[in-house]
Amino acid sequence: MQDSSFSSPATPATPAASRPALILASSSRYRRELLERLRIPFQTTVPAIDETPLAGETPEATALRLAAAKARAVAAALPATAGRTLVIGSDQVATFDGHQIGKPGTHERALAQLQSMRGREVLFHSALSLLDTATGQTDTVDVVTKVRFRDLPDAALDAYLRAEQPYDCAGSAKSEGLGIALLEAIESDDPTALIGLPLIALTRMLLAAGYPLLEAQ
């Protein structure tokens, strides 16, 4: 199911006919907004997959499996007449005390998440997959971000949640917004990974696939 499309305000000089199509296999507005930073044309398509973790599966394995599965599902649904297409799949799994942390969905569950994590370190596995339909090859990577939460009182946590309502975010805090006030430290090789789409890894993959990113506008 196609969700939306985006065309960059500044189109690269490379003729459109020579560029492969680019699809973001995601329903996340956060990933879409991150990809828009690259100023390249792309479409978004919502992949129809079961995102339930498998029994005994590690958080890293879950994130990598789902990122690749999203890309494959969207690629498989493309018409036979579609030309070369690069499909981006991404998934994020947060883990704390050996347990996977999902999206809270409600204020009460978000508050419980933040209460359990205050003063503690949480690992975020942000997996990325780039599938090239011309070759069938898939490039995948897991970017790990370590986040240490501040030890804040319940009143502060509750006030934050009511202000930003991050109920669709694993970990119940938006580091790109007011949620940064809840964090003591962030350790990562890619500052965009925590938001949901590791752009440093993605641009490496796109350049390796021959997709033009840095040509004169």
**What angle do the packed helices 199-208 and 29-36 form, to 10 degrees?**
60
- CA atoms of 78 and 85, how far apart (whole Å): 9
pTM higher than 0.75: yes
Each domain of the chain, given as residue ranges in start order, spans 2-208
Going by C-alpha positions, the residue among 98, 182, 179 that lies closest to residue 148 is 182
**Residue 211 clears pLDDT 50, i.e. is over it:** yes
The encoded tokens of residue 160 equal 């934050």
The encoded tokens of residue 167 equal 């109920």
**Residue 87 clears pLDDT 60, i.e. is over it:** yes
DSSP string, 149-203: E----HHHHHHHHHHH--TTSTTS--TTTGGGGGEEEEE-S-TTTTTT--HHHHH
Could you tell me the pLDDT band of residue 216, with boundaries at 50, 70 and 90?
A: low
List, for residues 114-166, the tens digit of each pLDDT value.
999 999 999 999 999 999 999 999 999 999 999 999 999 999 999 999 999 99
**Residue 7 clears pLDDT 80, i.e. is over it:** no
Q: What is the pLDDT of residue 175?
A: 92
Does domain 2-208 correspond to CATH entry 3.40.50.2020? no
DSSP string, 6-56: E--SS--SS-GGGSPEEEEE---HHHHHHHHTT---EEEE------PPPTT
List, for residues 22-81, the tens digit of each pLDDT value.
999 999 999 999 999 999 999 999 998 988 888 888 989 999 999 999 999 999 999 988
**Residue 194 clears pLDDT 90, i.e. is over it:** yes
Q: What is the pLDDT of residue 5?
A: 42
Task: For the chain, report the end-to-end CA distance as a whole number of angstroms.
Answer: 32
Catalytic residues, by residue number, are 91
- Rg (C-alpha) for the chain, rounded Å, is 18
- Between 41 and 6, name the one with better pLDDT: 41
Q: What is the pLDDT of residue 18?
A: 74
